[in-house]
Chains A and B, each alone.
Chain A
Amino acid sequence: MIPSLGISLNASEKNIERSLVEVRAKYATDDDAQLVAAFIKGDGDAFAALVDRHMPMVYKFTYRYVGNADAANDIVQDVFIKVWKNIKKFDRTKNFKTWLLTIAKNTALDALKKKKAVLFSKIEEGDADLDTFLAPFVETPDLPDEVLQRKETKADLEHVLAELSPSYRSVLLLRYTEHLKFREIADALQEPIDTIKSKHRRALIQLRKLLAEAPKSAGDSYH
């Protein structure tokens, strides 16, 4: 049986907000594994603390993955409902954040497939991994300083990221915005580490190419 959260349906969002402040203070020093253990023992507040702690990270990831605020909003809610339902299956020796990102990625992918916003072939782009074997030996392409210095580069990054396949985008975002190691990304996306390294390298090549083309294409679009 899933431990109770004890939410009264009469509770207004204001009441919950007030309770969340208390929960935040109560569990400030507990790590994720301790919170999971506390929730499984029946402490509903511990789950609220987990949601409160990780919701912004999950939102950022799903928003970037699906590229739509409304969809991200729904997906994040579904992600935490799945977490609540399956928390007993979570292996506490593993990283909770990684597990959460796995659920977020799968839920976002399902949402994309349902809405058919992206072709499946595009979602899975790069999964063939013909050069997986070579990936560990090939250096990551550098981003030249002059590209970084250009004002347009920063302005175009969002646009360029949206053009990448969700698969490449998620690797880059987990690596550079969530600062995960390749091993953690591999765990989160449930793919072999060499595949992740390969995707990372190809995503960077594509990103660099798109950034180099971006000012021209942005200029073209005004005409």
Chain B
Amino acid sequence: MNNNYERLFSTLKAPEPPTGLTERILLRIGVRERRMLGAKIAVSAAVFGASVGIAIAGYVNLVASLSQSGFFQIASLMFSDFSTMTANFPDFALSIMESLPIFTTALLLSGVLFAIWSMAALIDETSLFRNGRATAFFAVK
């Protein structure tokens, strides 16, 4: 490196950053973070609402489908005629499987799973939003 240029640039006055710039940067990020959290809460709430709706619709449909398909009658054999059921178990299992409405069962399960997942996220995000942050930097106690 050319020493004369080094010496020349060493005379250059370094511009000093304004006082409080670091603090302002961190506060701006805090505001952004809060906005992002607000948006996430809205999304989680919407997902939760939709999944509860899906779970209810899935449940109603599943009960109706189970009655129509004769699932309850076949399943009742387990309690009324247990020995016949065990003697013909492969046929019994096949009948149970055939009478099970797969689509509505999957709908109910996915609704329930999404509802649990989005509720957990919602609780987590709401508590962060209300009580400050998990990592509590700068939080005024």
Instruction: List the one stretch of B9-17, B92-100, B112-120 in contact with chain A.
Output: B9-17
Instruction: List the one stretch of B26-34, B41-49, B51-59, B79-87 in contact with chain A.
Output: B26-34
CB-defined contacts of B139 to chain A, threshold 8 Å = 6-8, 11
Asked if A17 is at the interface of the complex by the 8 Å CB criterion, the answer is yes
Q: Would you call B133 and A76 a contact (CB within 8 A)?
A: no
CB-defined contacts of A88 to chain B, threshold 8 Å = none
Asked if A31 is at the interface of the complex by the 8 Å CB criterion, the answer is no
- Which size class do B's interface residues fall under? 35 or more
- Which size class do A's interface residues fall under? 35 or more
CB-defined contacts of A16 to chain B, threshold 8 Å = 22-23, 26-27, 138
Asked if B90 is at the interface of the complex by the 8 Å CB criterion, the answer is no
**In the assembled complex, how far is the CB of residue A57 from the closest CB belonging to chain B, in whole angstroms?**
10
| A17–B10 alpha-carbon span in the complex (Å) | 30
**In the assembled complex, how far is the CB of residue A215 from the closest CB belonging to chain B, in whole angstroms?**
15
CB-defined contacts of B7 to chain A, threshold 8 Å = 148
CB-defined contacts of B20 to chain A, threshold 8 Å = 13, 17
Q: Would you call B15 and A154 a contact (CB within 8 A)?
A: no
Q: Would you call B14 and A4 a contact (CB within 8 A)?
A: no
Q: Would you call A9 and B135 a contact (CB within 8 A)?
A: no
Q: Would you call B32 and A81 a contact (CB within 8 A)?
A: yes
| Closest residue of A by beta carbon distance from B125 | A1
166-212 of chain A: CB within 8 A of chain B: 172-173, 175-177, 204
**In the assembled complex, how far is the CB of residue A56 from the closest CB belonging to chain B, in whole angstroms?**
5
| A44–B138 alpha-carbon span in the complex (Å) | 9
**In the assembled complex, how far is the CB of residue B138 from the closest CB belonging to chain A, in whole angstroms?**
5
| Closest residue of B by beta carbon distance from A3 | B135
Asked if A73 is at the interface of the complex by the 8 Å CB criterion, the answer is yes
